[in-house]
Amino acid sequence: MNEQERWLWPAGSATGVGSMPGTDIAETQRVVLGELPDLPHLPELPDRGAGADIIGRTSAFLVDMPVEVYTGRWRIASRPGRDLRRAFDLLDRDLDQLTEQGDGYTGVVKVQAAGPYTMAAGVDLPIGGRLLRDPGAVRDLTASLAEGLRRYVEDVRRRLPGATVLLQIDEPSLPTVLAGHVPTESGFSVYRPVEVTTATDALRELVSRVDAPTVFHCCAPDVPISLLVAAGASALSIDLSLVTALDPLGEAIDAGVGLLAGVAPTSGTRAPSHKDLVDRVRTVWHHLGFDARLLPQQVVVTPTCGLAGASLTYAKDVLAACRDAGRRLVEE
């Protein structure tokens, strides 16, 4: 096995984190496939409203656990209703566009969903309060999500039979869940922290049941890198500017875990040049002390997080800068 075969993607790849601005999935998918030919992703368009947001979209993957919108928040429902049907419909439209525009694609394609702890912190129980307050409900949610994501990955494989599906699990709330900083409804208290071993076991079980290469994404400070590696991460997607302790990241890379390096800002008046992105990636890699030849193979260049808050022009320019940065890493 040569070095590049250790990772799924071609050397010098770039990709997006997930969300994009606007409401036109057909046009957005064309942009993604055009700007990110080596590692495209299925874009998410939260501007479309409830059911397209991270919580609502992921709710469409839950098996036998329907949800609904109540007073502006998602909560567990007694039966599937209009809100869940809308989430299903939006997801189907997106997958249809990926199927049509990705016809014949034989590389790696990335799809995304929120993880169980971000869902548990963002979905309410029928009686009020977050799912996070009930460990049994969190276990049920994790099992439901794992089964739904297994079916989802199989569906994408059927639609793009020549492609390899990379599943991204978004866990932006995981650090606050572990730290016990998720506020209760009243705001006067917080939910008890989840033990690291409990979270590790739950995420490991999810990865095992889905049976697909998995990248964990978290663009918050204090990413629990060691936990995610222990849970079976094939790769980590993080904002490099928020990494203050390099040792856990170095240990993950040394263990062969891929790095989706978030270096391009998600907003601004002008996208960074690809040279700036190359410098940011190389600086961190140099501090870690790894062989420069591995950099373009093990690392994928990405924005720091989703691009839903950017203009479409800026988002397109950022993806192009990430693509060019990846290619530059190979050439030099």
pLDDT of residue 71: 87
Tell me the domain boundaries of the chain. 3-331
> Does the pLDDT of residue 19 top 80, yes or no?
yes
Instruction: Kindly state the percentage of the chain with pLDDT values over 70.
Output: 98
Contact 322, 9 (CB under 8 A): no
Contact 204, 155 (CB under 8 A): no
pTM beyond 0.75: yes
Topology classification of domain 3-331:
TIM Barrel (3.20.20)
> Does the pLDDT of residue 1 top 60, yes or no?
no
pLDDT of residue 5: 55
> Among the residues of the chain, which ranges form H helices?
25-35, 54-59, 82-101, 116-122, 135-159, 174-179, 196-210, 225-230, 246-254, 274-288, 295-298, 312-331
pLDDT digits (tens, 9 = 90+) for 165-218: 999 999 999 999 999 999 998 778 999 999 999 999 999 999 999 999 999 999
Q: What are phi and psi of 6, to 5 degrees?
A: -70, -20
Pairing of strands 123-124, 164-170: unpaired
Rounded to whole angstroms, how far apart are CA atoms 145 and 64?
A: 10
Contact 130, 75 (CB under 8 A): no
